[in-house]
A and B are shown apart, each in its own frame.
Chain A
Amino acid sequence: MRFGRLRDSLRKTSQALAGRLKALVKGRRIDESLWVDVEEVLITSDVGVEATDALVDAARTAAKHGEILKSEDVVPWIRGRMTDRLTAGDHGLRWNEGGTTVVLVAGVNGSGKTTSIAKLTKWVTAQGRSCMVAACDTYRAAAVAQLTIWSERLDVPIVKQSQGADPAAVAFDAAESAASRGVDVLIVDTAGRLHTQRNLMEELGKITRVLGKKIPGAPHETLLVLDGTAGQNGLQQTRRFREHAEVTGLIVSKLDGTAKGGVVLSIKDDLDVPVKFVGTGETADDLAPFEPATFVAALFGDED
């Protein structure tokens, strides 16, 4: 393959996407080339072939039935459809009112778990609830140190042991301590693990069970941190984690770059796991509850 030709086509695509769809479809006929352009925006946003085909086919049918009349209406129609699908289900954090709410945070290596936990802690305390963190990533060098630094910055108590300790034992201690101190929310950090590592995934199951033994109903939330730059593998990650722990929602991290995180649409469609939070920056404040309309607008490069 000649690189020159490829570079040109890449430049063209990214230019087309930079102008994004609104300008692109203005005043055009609704024909095959229009659908191809729409399709390309979706695919380069990591929406995935299957979900993209489904969306475009539905829009095509709608146009045939006169529901979409002008080319300018195509994008709003698809946006509406995506927003509806992402809106379905429960996006709020499930509180264990009257007791300690236990939030277990899991994810593959480098997805941004520890940073997301710091942000989540900040958010929880901003809601007027007391918080405690548990350092169950006893595997990665200095992971406990990293969480300790955050806990000091955010002024919340931390339960930890040394690197190499049994994570389930740390979880047990933390649950006991949180319950006896009457802490509102316990956030549990776990080691990053690739979803193909069976023994580590089983360990996650064990942590879940230990928490449930100490605090009834715990963990009340098991949040999977998904790297916003992840592609179609995000679906597979969610599927595998769900086999070992009841994943109740996603935290999508790193959406402050140029990645769009379109794979969450497939995750919602296929596995019915909703996004609960999105991470949009480096500071502890950069975490926001998920808003489907805003997310979809960003995917199409619109400001509103």
Chain B
Amino acid sequence: MFDSLTQRLQSAFSKLGRKGELKDSDVDDALRGIRTALLTADVHLSVVKQLVADIRERAIGEKVLESVQPEQQVVKIVHDELVRLMGGDDVKPSMPGDATIPIQFAARGPTVILMAGLQGAGKTTTCAKLANYLKSKGRRPLLVAADMQRPAAVEQLKVLGESLDIAVHSEASGRPPKICQRAVKAAVAGGHDVVILDTAGRLHVDRDLMYEVKDIAAKVDPHEIFLVLDSMTGQDAVNSAKAFDESLPLTGVVLTKLDGDTRGGAALSVRAVTGKPIRFLGTGERTDQLEPFHPDRLASRILGMGDVVSLVERAQSAMQEQEVEKAAEKMFSGSFTMEDMLAQFEQVERMGPMKEWIGMLPGVGSALGDMDMDEKPLGRAKAIILSMTPDERRRPDVLDPSRRRRIARGSGSSLDEVNRLLKSYKQMRQMMKQMGSGGGLMGKMMNRKFQKSKEKQLRELRKQGVNLADLGLSSQ
């Protein structure tokens, strides 16, 4: 079950869609479906009850039953309520500097970020990801190993810091509050503008350890205190979030492990119970898989509207600007070579696992279901191209049977596979020529103008999102 919540909601709504005429009891049925869907997604019972009551109120107030497409209306209401519950558009904290980074930076001196959470939530990995993210935004982060509880936790952060070329402050022994205090001093001396404190995982009922983290906060006075929360957490998420918030207090939440097949539930509950915004999502094992949180996108994803906006942004960050321009020019002028094809494969790889981004397309997420994407052909195709001489890559038309046999041997593939790749290359070249006039998703993504009018496009996509979800419903 890839999009379990999506699928459940869709089936609840499809009941509405099939009947033609609707009664109050039909709305009750749909609401019960929504309730089950949300509970199964681990949204806390109290939140679910409130949410369902609000949806019912609005559904009646807006005379959903009398509208032409009631199911579409209900989708919109649920979507709106989810967005509202997750913080609407008001989550961006005020901050000097880059407005796209959801972090409150200190006006002067280094910005101190304390990361706290239960054991196994993913704090250490998230610290490394956050440092990497900030580094990519031109900051100079310092990681601080303040988890003296778990064996080898310090070692883990050191290894991660080294692989990312990010400085790590660690001490062989000592009390975490003192270590953090010394680390902040070291950050000032070392010219770091962000300090990220990796604290030990602790249970919210563990009085001693909760006191310790409070002590850290008292000593270093952090600008941000993030709760790192496993998105697979069940009903208990509200208990731990509340306890952490009461003793720290939190300024935001980072949701981890969203690359699994769970999502939504914990985000909804924790946002509702603490009132603290979700700032980032961890979406994979790689250290670059951390994304700023957008409530509307997550709500859309929950509802099966796809996440086109995330997809487009991911594509844009994966492709370097100049490359994009060059490729676009080449593609549309028809001088597309095997070298360009290779570059494209590499760009696709940089976007991460195929299933991940293809799943973001509207309607595809749930259609994909349990299916896995086979990533191997991409590697094989790359091997074939790499076995060609530079001249062959630029002028593939010179590839006669003898050259093709050599390439097959060199890349460990069959002649058949080489031929197939050349055929699809030729088809692509043909297609590109036709696309020269514009059009197609790739064409749009390549277009620099798109970036400038992104805001307008976002609104468009959102509007389309609703319609696309509706298409998904009527096909059931």
Given contacts A3-B272, A146-B153, 13 further A-B contacts (CB under 8 A): A6-B47, A43-B45, A110-B119, A141-B160, A145-B156, A194-B257, A196-B260, A230-B230, A233-B234, A237-B232, A256-B203, A257-B205, A260-B236
CB contact under 8 A between A45 and B85, given known A142-B152, A257-B203, A258-B240: no
- Say yes or no for B238: interface residue by CB 8 A criterion: yes
In the bound complex, CA of A140 to CA of B155 (Å):
11
The 0/1 profile, CB within 8 Å of B marked 1, for residues 259-279 of chain A is: 110110000000000000000
Say whether B108 faces chain A, with CB atoms less than 8 Å apart.
no
Check A9/B46 contact, CB under 8 A, given A49-B36, A195-B260, A232-B40: yes
Selected from A112, A150, A258, the residue in CB contact (under 8 A) with B236 is: A258
Interface centre among B205, B260, B372 (most CB of A within 10 A): B260
- Asked whether B78 is an interface residue with its Cβ less than 8 Å from the other chain, the reply is no
Contact A230 B232 (CB under 8 A): yes
* Closest-CB distance, B212 to chain A (whole angstroms): 14
**Contact of A10 with B44 at beta-carbon distance under 8 Å, contacts A110-B121, A145-B151, A257-B205 already known:** yes
Closest to B265 in A: A231
Counting CB contacts under 8 A, is A203 at the interface?
Answer: no
| B230 adjacent to A142 (CB under 8 Å) | no
CB distance A46 to B235 under 8 Å? yes
Size bracket of the A interface: 35 or more
What's the nearest-Cβ distance from chain B to residue A266, in Å? 10
Asked if B150 contacts A254 (CB within 8 A), the reply is no
A229 touching B240, Cβ below 8 Å: yes
Q: Residue A288 at the B interface, CB < 8 A?
A: no
Contacts of B47 in A (CB 8 A): 6, 10
Q: Is the CB of B372 within 8 A of A198?
A: yes
CB distance from B86 to the nearest CB of A (A): 10
Set B81, B120, B204, B275: member contacting A110, Cβ < 8 A: B120
**Contact residues in B for A9 (Cβ distance below 8 Å):** 46, 49-50
Partner of B152, one of A12, A149, A195, A258: A149
**A binding-site residues for B, Cβ under 8 Å:** 1, 3, 5-7, 9-10, 12-14, 40, 43-46, 48-49, 108-112, 115, 140-143, 145-146, 148-150, 163, 194-198, 227, 229-234, 236-237, 254, 256-260, 262-263
Once A7-B273, A45-B235, A145-B155 are accepted as A-B contacts, the answer to whether A194 and B260 lie under 8 Å apart by CB is: yes
Given contacts A1-B81, A142-B152, A194-B257, contact A230 B234 (CB under 8 A): yes
Provide the residues of chain A in CB contact with B233, threshold 8 Å.
227, 229-231
**A43 contacts B235, C-beta separation under 8 Å:** yes
For residue B84, CB closer than 8 A to chain A, the reply is: yes
- Residues in B with CB closer than 8 Å to A256 are 203, 205
Q: Is there contact, CB below 8 Å, between B39 and A233?
A: no
Closest partner residue, chain A, to B151 (CB atom): A149
- Chain B interface extent, by class: 35 or more
Query: B159 near A: Cβ within 8 Å?
Result: yes
Cβ–Cβ < 8 Å partners of A150 in chain B: 151
B163 (CB) vs chain A CBs: closest residue: A141
- Closest partner residue, chain A, to B259 (CB atom): A194
Q: Tell me whether B40 and A142 are in contact (CB under 8 A).
A: no
Give the distance in Å from the alpha carbon of A194 to the alpha carbon of B283 in the complex.
11
Please name the residue on chain A nearest to B38 by beta carbon.
A49
CA distance A9 to B155 in the complex (A): 44
Of A3, A143, A196, most B-chain CB atoms within 10 Å: A196
Q: Taking the nearest CB of chain B, how far is it from the CB of A137, in angstroms?
A: 11
In Å, the complex CA distance between A45 and B50 comes to: 19
Q: How far is the CA of A142 from the CA of B237 in the complex (A)?
A: 28
- Beyond A43-B235, A142-B153, A229-B234, is A236–B261 a contact (Cβ under 8 Å)? yes
**CB within 8 Å for A48 and B40 given contacts A6-B272, A109-B122, A196-B261:** yes
Q: Does B445 contact A (CB under 8 A)?
A: no
Interface status of B77 (Cβ within 8 A of chain A): no
**Complex Cα distance A148/B238, Å?**
35
Contact across chains for A145 and B152 when beta carbons are under 8 A apart = yes
